[in-house]
Chains A and B, each alone.
Chain A
Amino acid sequence: MNVEVSRRKFLQGSVALTVIGGSSVGFTSLMADEEKKKGTSSQEIPTLCEMCVNKCAAIAKVENGIVTKLDPNPRFPKSKNMLCPRGVAGIHAMYDPDRLKYPMVRVGKRGEGKFKRVTWDEAYEAILNGTDKFPGLAKILDEEKDNRSCIGYCAGEGMAEHTYKTFMADKFGSSNFVNHASICLQTTVSGYALTIGSYGQADLENANYVIMAGANRAEAILTPDTMDLFKRTRGRGATLICVDPRYTNTAMQADEWLAINVGTDLAFVLALTYVVMTEGLYNIDFVENMMNGFDVYRLHILENKYTPEWAEKITGISADKIRKTARDFMAAAPRAIYYQGRRTAWSSHDFQLRRAQAIFSALGGGIDVKGGIVFGKGVPLGKHEVNAPMYANAESRIDSKEAKLVGSTGTWIGFRNMIAEKRTPYPMRGMFVYKQNPMLSVPNTAKTKKMFENMDLVVTIDTMPSDTVMMADVVLPECSYLEREDPVKSFGGVQPAIALRQKVIDPLYESKPVIDILRGLTQKISKPLFEITKKYDEDVQDELKERKEAEVYKEDGFDLVDAFEKSQEEINEHMVVSKHGKEAYELLKKHGVYYPNMEKYFKQLSANEYEYYPEDKKAYTVSKWRKGAVIDIDTCVNEKEIAALQKKLNTSSGRVECVLGYMTKKGVDAMPTWHDTYLVPIPEGKFKFVSGRHAQFTQNSTQNNIMLLDQVKENHLWINAKDAEKKGIRFGDLVEVESKIGKVQIKAYPTNKIIPGVVFFIHGFGAQSTGLTFGYRNGASDNAIIEDRIEPVFGSAAMHETIVDVRRVS
């Protein structure tokens, strides 16, 4: 067999990590004999992973109070009996020696990294009344006349994000929230939602043809997509077409790799659509019954002459391949999917790209049917009510004019730049940061730093001393996901289920779950802040003329503590029991997962496979019939006809929206249209920079994880082998990558797995925080060089439009 064994050390670096020592398990297996003597204490506790956003079900093995292993929990239909490398390495996130262990307040200059250990009460006191280094909330809100929005807040994706928002938005009353959406899948979610009614879920377990463009499910693991797809490609049921400037592991697993020029996907999709329109390959009944504005769109495609030959010149993909892809897709439809994708906006026209993808998918009828884009259903949960006060002086969000349609999750770049450039409509005095690291995750790190420098009070809640924590005035240590119970969550889909993140061990050090942190904080600040409201809020002043103060404070929600009085465990029990009864809650606690009839439906099929729902109970098709629909299912003889039944989608017309007329008023194309300006040329000798993910790292949150660094020591710059040769760059050479906004140094990896004129490195390295022993200055950070270009519709970050120089560092 032709295997070069030394390749297994490939890209891992030849120098072994200097830390010699096993994992925590090595330590505990030493204790095994001790345990035998004492009598062993061993437990298995089901929980949910938080190493990335997937929330896979895990079973934590706890021996004598130490978590020794994380195994997959086979009961969860979303994660289907697997735990990826990050999930398994969660132990090292919890036992990371660099973790934030106790509250701290800043004693040095902002960003200098000098902190003092304080008690929780002292930390809350510093937030309320400041120190000699920074002002507190009381002073700031007094100066801003109770404009609660002068304190912004952000959060990374997570199950307790809602708890934090309950505090910041509902109780504290700030409207300035930014989260991951605008540096993540905002344009894709909106593009699909406005076109077919929902982002949906690609039914990769049953699709027969999948176009996966830019998305990289073999490396950027998403459950259940990754597990469903890669057992079925290459002759085993599903044809996978991978469209990417890089030959990723997804390309390796695909039936065909179409190397595309960066930022030209829209031209590719429009040409696919052209082929389908001219050759009449679309599902005629579906178009008739389910598409709104089809004729206009068809004419638009034909008149603009989006021919495969036209697209070939732009995309670099041959006209023949485009034709074949369009024909094969429609032949497999409705079990054919143009995969939605995730991560970020790549280009400034990303919203139009996602719309074009959704319409193309719909032309085959693969919407709300098995093997297409499905919507699934949910398992209901009870409600947890919050009594939210009204603040008359709280202004609306600052960044709503930074893009055409800024939603409640904001535009990170727009928001950040306004503060950094001091052009906010009212002073933005401070920020609460929960579980997010904008210093590394938002393009143009220098500007993010400037934003924090322009603020008076920065509070961070995190588990690790990230680059952002270094910018804080007050640092509140949250415990890791294995040390807390989070809000119970219902996971909708074809096979819906409720899953619970249970506490595995008690919080280490002085760390706490966010709900406990907020309980302590609100106990400290609630009454003093109400005094400020009384001073400036005319509505409250009017109320106080007629009602007792204690009554207004309590009944109108100004008592900030009331939202956090109950423990997370109590809230969860109520939410489950109120809908499904006590027995369901017991099952959920025992198995980590619950859905109606689980005990009847769930069974093991083989050593590796489980069944969650019988086939006839899976929610492939969920849409309601449209009013007056003519339904005669019995006469439907094939899947193409079933796909075309008159259902009501969650769009304004109830059909697939080809034309969004109201968008033209905002200056946005009503239909996906290619403009020549979209093609950003690469100057001779320069490169377009693209970024991405891999299976061993989650954004920048895992960069200090010793077990994952053991797998991937640092990131490398992918550069086409011929480009590298021209520049005299060889494997391992240190190169400097410079854009308009910054430069980084990184080792080179010349390869034929990337097209010429494009360079790439993985996101998630290059931390500058001295608090991270292993992450500090390890590899390069992409956002130090990615320009802050805003996608104009939703204000997302267009991350693949940066041009860079690459030179060898002598």
Chain B
Amino acid sequence: MNYAMVLDYQNCINCKACEVACKEQNGVQLGADKQRIWVSTYENSIFGNPFVAFHPSQCNHCVDAPCVSVCPTGASYFAEGGLVMANKDKCILCKGCMEACPYDARFVDDKYVAVDKCTFCFDTRISKGETTTACQATCPTKVRLFGDLDDEKGELVQLLKKRKFFVLKESEGTVPKLFYLFPEKDTSFAENSIGKGTTIHTWESYKPVIDKAVAMRRKS
């Protein structure tokens, strides 16, 4: 079991249904800076014309997660399916994980006085038999697909075999598991919404990266 998420970010209309569903489902603290998931807005001007791109995002549940290695108390840990979880009881709020995370995916939950983050709704939905996360289920344009990288026949791997994709900040070496589908039908959007130097992957090119990182983690 290796949980992951595919995001067809070209579909995103930034309605924030996902953000609200996440807060409602998981009891996330209110406040603009208290977000387990978010939609980044990138704005630019191209030859005087506005350009806007939305990047829905959340914790990447990295295979080689720096937040886990940096945690002094074991509060950050790998759970079932490679999920990166934060145990609030063990958290001493040193915020090392927040510093270590390249994706700014963690924040301080003032209710618990501990770090909070995305769990892929494992505790609130997946472990109770649901097959979708709250953000996926509620989305009007169905940006997200949650699934298992180990399930070759599953919808998620099938989609990754069919479509090109990229991950965020690959050079950090964290082996992230949010897969952004390459907008192949809109090259201009692709060009302007994906950072220069980003590798566009296929399942064949990325699968070995995951396998290697998973093997490394098992060893340690």
Residues of A in contact with B (beta carbons under 8 Å apart): 1-5, 7-10, 12-14, 16-17, 19-29, 69-72, 81-85, 87-89, 91, 218-219, 221, 223, 226-227, 230-231, 234-236, 247, 249, 251-253, 257, 606-609, 695-696, 706-708, 710-711, 713, 751-753
Q: Which residue of B lies closest to A58 (CB)?
A: B138
Q: Chain B contacts of A26 at CB under 8 A? A: 27-29, 111
- Return chain A residues, CB-CB under 8 Å to B195: 1-3
CB < 8 Å neighbour of B196 from A2, A84, A707: A2
- Bound-state CA distance A20–B14 (Å) is 25
Given known A8-B38, A608-B136, contact A21–B29 (CB-CB < 8 A): yes
Sampled A-B contacts (12; CB under 8 Å): A16-B33, A16-B34, A71-B134, A88-B24, A218-B13, A226-B140, A234-B183, A236-B185, A710-B20, A710-B23, A752-B50, A753-B43
When distances are taken between beta carbons in the complex, the residues of chain B under 8 Å from A21 are 29-30, 111
Contacts of B210 in A (CB 8 A): none
Apart from A19-B30, A607-B145, A710-B32: 16 A-B pairs, beta carbons within 8 A: A8-B35, A16-B34, A23-B28, A27-B27, A71-B134, A72-B137, A81-B137, A82-B17, A82-B140, A85-B16, A88-B24, A218-B13, A221-B140, A231-B11, A234-B185, A710-B20
Closest to A89 in B: B20
B209 located at the interface, meaning its Cβ lies under 8 Å from any Cβ of chain A in the complex: no
B41: contacting residue among A8, A22, A25, A608, CB under 8 A? A8
Tell me which residues across on chain B come within 8 A of A251, comparing CB atoms: 50
- What 8 A-B pairs have minimum CB-CB distances, sorted nearest first? A26-B27, A235-B185, A1-B195, A16-B31, A695-B15, A12-B32, A218-B13, A85-B20
A1 to B48, CA, bound (A): 22
Pairwise interchain contact B29-A83, C-beta atoms closer than 8 A: no
Shortest A664–chain B CB gap in Å is 43
Q: What 0/1 pattern do residues 41 to 78 of B give for CB contact below 8 A with A?
A: 11101001110111100000000000000000000000
Are the CB atoms of A84 and B32 closer together than 8 Å? no
| Interface pair B30/A4, CB less than 8 Å apart | no
> What residues of A have a CB within 8 angstroms of the CB of B93 in the complex?
none
Least CB distance from B161 to A in Å reads 15
Residues of chain A lying within 8 A (CB to CB) of residue B132: 607-608
Q: Are A20 and B110 in contact (CB under 8 A)?
A: yes
For chain B, residues 121 to 172, give those with C-beta under 8 angstroms from any C-beta of chain A: 124, 131-132, 134, 136-142, 145-147, 155, 166, 168-169
Question: Who on chain B is nearest to A249 by CB?
Answer: B13
Measured CA separation A16–B16 after assembly (Å): 17
**B198 and A1: CB pair below 8 A?**
yes
* B141 lies within 8 A of A696 (CB): no
B30 A706 Cβ-Cβ under 8 A: yes
A7 to B40, CA, bound (A): 6
Partner of B50, one of A8, A12, A247: A247
A-B contact count (CB 8 A): 202
* Cβ–Cβ contact B30 & A71, under 8 A: no
Q: Which of B17, B26, B40, B138 contacts A25 (CB 8 A)?
A: B26
* Partner pick for A707 among B24, B111, B141, B147, CB 8 A cutoff: B24
Q: How far is the CA of A89 from the CA of B20 in the complex (A)?
A: 7
On whether A3 and B13 interact (CB within 8 A), knowing A84-B140, A227-B141, A608-B136, the answer reads: no
Most chain A CB within 10 A, of B21, B32, B33, B147, is at B32
- The answer to whether A23 and B24 have CB atoms under 8 Å apart is yes
Q: For residue B52, which residue of chain A has the nearest CB?
A: A252
Q: Is the CB of B52 within 8 A of A247?
A: yes
Indicate if the CB atoms of B142 and A25 lie closer than 8 Å.
no
The answer to the question of B189 belonging to the interface, with a C-beta cut-off of 8 Å to chain A, is yes
Enumerate chain A residues within 8 angstroms of B17, measured Cβ to Cβ. Answer: 82-85, 87-88, 695
A7-B27 in contact (CB<8A): no
CA distance A710 to B145 in the complex (A): 25
**Which of chain A's residues has its CB closest to B180's CB?**
A1
Q: Is B80 an interface residue (CB 8 A)?
A: no
B 84-113 binary contact with A (CB < 8 Å = 1; else 0): 000000000000000000001000001100
Q: Least Cβ distance of B111 to chain A in Å? A: 6
**In the bound complex, CA of A70 to CA of B16 (Å):** 15
Instruction: Pick from A9, A20, A23, A218: contact of B27, CB below 8 A.
Output: A23
Chain B interface size, as a band, is: 35 or more
Residues of chain A within 8 A of B174, CB atoms compared? none
Most buried by A among B10, B11, B138, B169: B138
CB distance from B165 to the nearest CB of A (A): 12
A223 to B186, CA, bound (A): 25
Name the one of B28, B32, B55 contacting A16, with C-beta atoms under 8 angstroms: B32
Q: Which residue of the partner chain A has the closest CB to B138?
A: A83
A696 to B124 alpha-carbon distance, docked (Å): 24
In Å, the complex CA distance between A69 and B142 comes to 19
Q: Is B39 an interface residue (CB 8 A)?
A: yes
**Which among A17, A22, A253 is the interface contact of B13 at CB below 8 angstroms?**
A253
B194 within 8 A of A: yes
Q: How far is the CB of B115 from chain A (nearest CB, A)?
A: 15
Q: Which of B23, B49, B138, B168 contacts A72 (CB 8 A)?
A: B138
**From residue A808, how far is it (CB to closest CB) to chain B in Å?**
23
Q: How far is the CB of A321 from chain B (nearest CB, A)?
A: 13
User: How distant is A749 from chain B, measured CB to nearest CB, in Å?
Assistant: 11
Give chain B nearest CB distance to A37 CB in angstroms. 18
Could you tell me the distance in whole angstroms from the C-beta of B84 to the nearest C-beta in chain A?
Answer: 18
Known contacts A1-B198, A20-B110; decide if A71 and B138 are in contact (CB<8 Å): yes
In the complex, how many angstroms separate the beta carbon of B206 from the nearest chain A beta carbon? Answer: 16
The chain A residue sitting closest to B14, CB to CB, is A249
Q: How far is the CA of A253 from the CA of B104 in the complex (A)?
A: 27
Within 8 A of A (CB), among B165-220: 166, 168-169, 183, 185-186, 189, 193-196, 198
Contact of B131 among A5, A87, A607 (CB under 8 A): A607
Contacts of A14 in B (CB 8 A): 32
In the bound assembly, the distance between CA atoms of A253 and B164 in angstroms comes to 21
Asked if B29 and A20 sit within 8 Å, CB to CB, the answer is yes
Which of the listed residues B13, B14, B50, B137 has the most CB atoms from chain A within 10 Å of its own CB?
B13
* Complexed CA–CA distance, A221 and B141 (Å): 11
Q: Which residues of B contact A711 (CB under 8 A)?
A: 16, 19-20
CA distance A707 to B31 in the complex (A): 9
Bound CA–CA A71/B130 (angstroms):
12
Q: How far is the CB of A363 from chain B (nearest CB, A)?
A: 29
Please, how many angstroms separate the alpha-carbon atoms of A235 and B188 in the complex? 11
Closest A residue to B41 using CB positions: A7
Instruction: Knowing A4-B42, A29-B27, A710-B31 are in contact, say whether A85-B19 is a contact too (CB < 8 A).
Output: yes
Question: In the complex, what distance in Å separates the CA atom of A64 from the CA atom of B95?
Answer: 36
Q: Do the beta carbons of A231 and B142 come within 8 Å of each other?
A: yes
Instruction: Looking at the assembled complex, report how far the CB atom of B74 sits from the nearest CB atom of chain A, in whole angstroms.
Output: 22
- Chain B residues with CB under 8 Å of A19's CB are 30
Chain B positions within 8 Å of A606 at CB level:
155
Q: How far is the CB of B20 from chain A (nearest CB, A)?
A: 4
CB neighbours of B55 from chain A (8 A): 1, 3
